[in-house]
Structure 1
């Protein structure tokens, strides 16, 4: 029973079952949705392949029709169409006249080839065997058309478009690439004027590279019921069953579903069929069903494996997580039992709705701990706060004598020089300075008042250094009411003045600026003095860090002594006020000589 009441066991079993249920509820609908989309996209891809071939075929047929019409209606010269030139060439016996007619037809065919660059060759044949081509490599005569099966087939079309496939150019052996040949008999006024033949590279009409990537795919191009091209070299014609299936495909309305399962073209083959009604050309792409859905099968296997792997990882993760979460609870119980303080205070009762053993133990231990710690913890916090405040009050009082000795010495010097106006001004400013610094009304103040006090100090220093000291104050008006510890800027400005001057320094400028940056306030003190060496800079930063560590600990003595005045003291009070949200930088300026001290804190405490 204790095993089943364990938080570890209940946590592991409960969350494992929840995660498995969530995975199944999310993954199953997602799998069905993706499966349907993959199936749809796969079929659409093959259907698009067949459509592209059909569209290319339609485009070439239309171009061929336009070329044919140009021969009938486009005049070469003297308003005479090209077909008349063919008749004249076939009937003329005069060498010079034949030369002119052939040249005119050659120029016309060359012009057509520039208008239709997709055509590899455009050829005209007369009934007497003359050949006019846009290629200089073609022969000029092939003999009467009755000697060639190709020309005999053209003559039998009675003016209709004929499409055929040739593994190479039959008239020019130099062209060793496969071509599709569009041809027709030219019959102006029911008279056989000649034949037109246009060759297009096979790969311009059929994307053979894409078809090769489809394993088991077969492409058939039909003219009527006859196969004019097939990617299967053994496919010479249709069987009786295939003819019936092909006839059914041609009669299907456009509203019926594609693709079709046509077993007569192979076991479990999908047929993608496209028909060009006017020209009776059609495209049939057959793909094995297992190839069509190969990606879907792969997706199913990957999805099942991923789902099982996700379940196993989730179960293992929750098992480890449950151990991680329950182990600290037991350790906490043992730690609490070791605490020994005077017992007092109220008892702490924790809810144990699910009757878990660990909660029973923690509940009992916390009741004992709360009685011992409540009062002692409050007293400790109160004592430490008062102790730190007392140290800061002491350090504030220590700032004044150091500055007082300096200024009294300067007043004495001015009095000896009988500079009474300067003595009076120094005395009045010094009176206001000490009235502010020794005031104990509040340890915090607005930035506006702190800057006013700092300006008063700088004015005292200007009287002392005459023209050698300049200063600028640049403050964002939105920061005037920012609450900061009292007397944080004057020690930093004093540090800049004390360490910025040297024997070669003619003047010193101190710039105090305050602005807002990314929801933080920035206070910056810069001078153009002699700067600080890297070794000295590292020592100053180390001293400040050591001061902050000792201030935040319970140690007394060195960290809070008078040696911690100046920069470290200001940093300490800002750290005490803003905690971890406060940051500082002390560095040499890059643009000019001098030191930059940058303070950063939150706009809201």
Structure 2
């Protein structure tokens, strides 16, 4: 026998195919994205960070070079003035008249004009005597009137006696380039002071965007600072530096790039916050993270959609299989399948179901024929027993000379035989079964006369309920043959048929002697072991009473299967009740 068993939830407590596909691709996806993230952090971010930091250092170098170039230009200017041979004669003078003094001033102005040329990148220029007194100035508005404090300052003694120059800040916002006027023999005649263009210095440091710029001298005094640099340079920026050029981070995690100038002794310090220095690096990192997250989400969605599209046809196929039953084995093919393997699987299932449908039809036909054969065989056992008892009753009436009764009993027997033999393979209604039972009781009543009292109550709505033939009469016959032995008349039989909520019930009661408990248990066990009558056909040792009960119940089981309930019990006062209940609904259990 071929049986198709489909569970409601065959994948319960199991991982679905879609989830398995997703979990299969998920580790690979994580590995690929992880490798990409490692590559970015290891091979892209560090070089970019180093390049960005080096750019800060290069900026400090550029600012320092621009300032150094500016100082060098002033040094060249001073050299041009000192190369004039008339300069020493003009400063080597004693007491003279005012006219001579004016001529000397005019001569010095001409020297300064010739040295400056057409371009002017300073504020003013002045020539001072050996005592530091101003002798002549180019404009006469910016230079100090005396250099005596500088000349007498011991800190500058060495530079002013060795034909070198010093850079001196007299007050905030001013810067002087001072050098001695010395001949080849090392004799000092006076001093040259060039007041530098502070606006130019400010322009150079302000050109650095996003950073604070400080220019400090060798004594850690601030020469110039950018517009965004509040206050003086931090003491930490003025600390002794390990080299002339470098970059480090301070206590506030700012990047400090510095460059020392050997000619001027100045140190250019550029202070940049970590966010500004690593802004581009962080942007690349953030873009990389955003890209990775976007790729991850996109990959998740893609894998999910791919897994779903792959599994949906299988789920549809499974759903169709789950909805199949013995009466519906049609598999609707999906013409939208693009996967060749799924298409072949779909076609294979279709062919399998076609063969299964053919096998089931054959099985159903075989089961039907088997059931009919069983029912016929069981019914064939009941019929001879009924005929034997009826003829026995007719013979008794004939011996007593009851000719009219014999005639009526023969008519009743004829009607009963017609009911038994006509369409034996077809089921009968309860109404037909009751009519047959009434004819049997009429036959029996002729013999027992007033000793037998019977009553039938039937719900009119139960008329059309289908039963196998000869179901009620064998139970009634069993009452008459066995229940009333050793029981004084009157003998009573009560048949009650009810229908309610899709259930029908037949109760057959008598007032006989009852059945022993052990006998009831034996009957119930025989019914449970009989397997719809197969065992009974093989075993002929059962008594006639037992055979009638078991035979009838087995024929009902052939028709109603597990929707049948049978019970037999002794009444509280006297007699026995046989109860048969069945459901008209196929999904009763």
Tell me if TM exceeds 0.5.
Answer: no
Structure whose CA Rg is larger: 2
TM-score for the superposition, normalised by structure 1: 0.43
Could you tell me the TM-score, scaled by structure 2's length? Answer: 0.44
